Amino acid sequence: MASPSTRIDDGHDMDSVNSGLMREKLSVLVVDNDALVRKVHEKIVSKLKVAKQVQIQTATNGKEALDLHLSGSSFDIILMDMQMPIMDGTEATKELRAMGVESMIVGVTSADARADKEAFTEAGLDQCLAKPLTADKIKSLVETLEKNK
């Protein structure tokens, strides 16, 4: 068995999660100030066989996410943490939508306050999910993306 530092076990059999979904390319941006959360979300996305080619980039705050967009990067899905330093997820989402970004933006939060979640959603999220994300939740996002093509 692999050590915890080399294997992330989210309690799901990846083969059962992977069945029946394959797109040509999937580009994902993971925005979170917590390095461990970024790594977990990166690992889950990279292990899913939902695309022939999966590209993952990370950012540690909303400003970095905006800078990536301004530099010409585009993403199918943006996993946006709500609470971050420099620029939080709510403000970054508002700014991205104001720039015309049409990517699926998914809020990811551990916040319990309903008002905070509502403000985050109203900023322009497509969905708001509770941390931690699982393979099933990410697969569902890709399926939604496919339906809305």
Q: What's the number of domains the chain is made of?
A: 1
- Model pLDDT for residues 76-129, shown as the tens digit of each residue: 999 999 999 999 999 999 999 999 999 999 999 887 777 778 888 899 999 998
CATH number at residue 100: 3.40.50.2300
The answer to whether residue 15 sits within a structural domain is no
The answer to whether residue 72 sits within a structural domain is yes
Range of the domain at 143: 23-147
What pLDDT is recorded for position 67?
A: 95
**pTM, 2 dp:** 0.81
Site of tokens 């899913």: 48
Mean pLDDT of the chain: 81
The answer to whether residue 68 sits within a structural domain is yes
- Taking residues 13-32, report their average pLDDT: 66
Segment among 63-67, 106-110, 143-147 with least mean pLDDT: 143-147
The answer to whether residue 11 sits within a structural domain is no
Top-confidence residue, 30 or 16: 30
The answer to whether residue 81 sits within a structural domain is yes
Segment among 34-38, 76-80, 130-134 with least mean pLDDT: 130-134
pLDDT score of 5 more than 80: no
Q: What is the per-residue DSSP string for 9-61?
A: --SS-HHHHHTT--EEEEEEEEE-S-HHHHHHHHHHHHHS-SEEEEEEEEESS
What pLDDT is recorded for position 22?
A: 58
Site of tokens 């580009």: 27
The answer to whether residue 89 sits within a structural domain is yes
Two tokens, residue 51:
């695309």
Two tokens, residue 5:
């530092």
The answer to whether residue 43 sits within a structural domain is yes
Instruction: Report the percent of the chain where pLDDT is more than 70.
Output: 83
pLDDT score of 148 more than 80: no
The answer to whether residue 4 sits within a structural domain is no
